[in-house]
Amino acid sequence: MAGNTARNGRQDRRREDRRRQDRRFPSWAVRATAAAACGTLALTACGSTKDSGATGAKGDGKVGVILPLLTSPFWQSYNDYVPKMATSQGVDALKTVNSNSDPSQQITDINNELNQGVKGLVVAPLDSAAIQAGLDQAERKGVPVVAVDVAPDKGKVAMVVRADNVAYGEKACQYLGAHIGSGKVVQIMGDLASVNGRDRSEAFRSCVRKNFPKLKVLEIPAKWESDTAASKLDTLLNANPDIRGIYMQAGGVYLAPTLQTLKSKKMLKTAGTAGHIVVVSNDGIPQEYEAIRKGEIDATVSQPADAYAKYGMYYIKAAMQGRTFKPGPTDHGSTIVTLPSGILEDQLPAPLVTKDNVDDPELWGNTVR
């Protein structure tokens, strides 16, 4: 009986302790606190497959910026704009990384940046298909990515910051068609592993076929390589000395070798003189503007290096803050569209530059020296 009395006393004290605890912190509060904690962790510890601690809830943290190459004046200009635009947008960007025209190296660069703990990535893809491996790794880490200049074929990105590359090819076609009308024209293409090379090439040939059937298009696949462009253009001109027009898909890498090749063959004639070969380019770098002023080339499409840097930073900051966007017009003169892959792309303006507007101070190429 004494033992039973002692046990009953201990049980009564434990019941009283539980009643006092429930009055201080009832069970419903425990459940609510656990649920709130799970929400605060944004699923990182509550069933998510993403690595914990990867996302910056308030948009804080380092941002990695990966370049495709630095041998082009266009990308050199973009590289110069990056730290300025990062500062203006309030983004803490690491020093840029150059993938040196190597898609495999670019994937390694992405992984290296992720291993450094970046909270966001701004990447200019070299290969629209190969970049998926890097994008998938970033998604597994919970790190948002903004693609600049080139859209990936697959993979998750918060936004593609790019101009309408189909319009590049169409503008070149319309200019050459209006100024030549008939004869042979050369298209010096970019890398067809890149959506940019594909868009510009197909748009140019389709436009010529539809609107200027008297033009005959000859093509040089040059992979964004200046040496390849020079060598193949030299061979093509030997067989076709009656070329009347040239479309260069990237002035940054093709301008110098094209002009040098024409000069070596005594085919570089000033605009307005007999024998002048009409040349249209893409990029909008200062060197192209000087060539337009000299009459060596006739036009270029200004690809906005400054806006690429600015809105790359703008969208990565927004993505790190969890913001999302929808198709439609923007407040900066562009339109967000949905690509066939389902990815959103902000298509920035890219004006045609000729002798009539080459001195416009609003063109970014006139602000860089």
pLDDT tens-place values along the chain, 369 residues long: 444 444 444 444 444 444 444 433 333 333 333 333 333 323 223 322 233 333 333 457 999 999 999 999 999 999 999 999 999 999 999 999 999 999 999 999 999 999 999 999 999 999 999 999 999 999 999 999 999 999 999 999 999 999 999 999 999 999 999 999 899 999 999 999 999 999 999 999 999 999 999 999 999 999 999 999 999 999 999 999 999 999 999 999 999 999 999 999 999 999 999 999 999 999 999 999 999 999 999 999 999 999 999 999 999 999 999 999 999 999 999 999 999 999 999 999 999 999 999 999 999 999 986
Task: In whole angstroms, give the CA distance from residue 226 to residue 191.
Answer: 12
Question: End-to-end CA distance of the chain, in Å?
Answer: 101
> What does the block give as tokens for 349?
């303006």
Task: In whole angstroms, give the CA distance from residue 92 to residue 33.
Answer: 34
Domains and CATH numbers, the chain: 62-164+305-350 (3.40.50.2300), 165-302 (3.40.50.2300)
